[in-house]
Amino acid sequence: MCLAVPLRLSSVEGDSGRVEEGGVTREVSLALLPEARPGDHVLIHAGFAIQVIDEEEARQTLALLREIEEAGRRGEEP
């Protein structure tokens, strides 16, 4: 299964950027999404930003991912 995770782009330097969520920061490639700007929410897959999404979509997706994680901890099917 492939999964793209929405994260907020905090900075851009050349074709790289830094994304963050919940205090965790990572460097990602913006080679596939050169139009991304700091403050955008982007989908990250395999270290690459692949799509800009709106904040509400990012928030909803992260909430669903947290629900799945929590269900897994309880040993339940999501």
Which domain CATH number covers 39?
2.30.30.140
Model pLDDT for residues 32-50, shown as the tens digit of each residue: 999 999 999 999 999 999 9
pLDDT-derived band at 78 (thresholds 50, 70, 90) equals low
Total of domains in the chain? 1
User: What pLDDT does residue 72 have?
Assistant: 84
Per-residue pLDDT at 69: 87
Contacts 24+ apart (CB under 8 A), 60-64: 61/5, 61/6, 62/5, 62/6, 62/21
Query: Quick one: pLDDT band at residue 77, thresholds 50, 70, 90?
Result: low
Question: Domain range holding 64?
Answer: 5-74
Q: What is the pLDDT, as a whole number, of residue 2?
A: 78
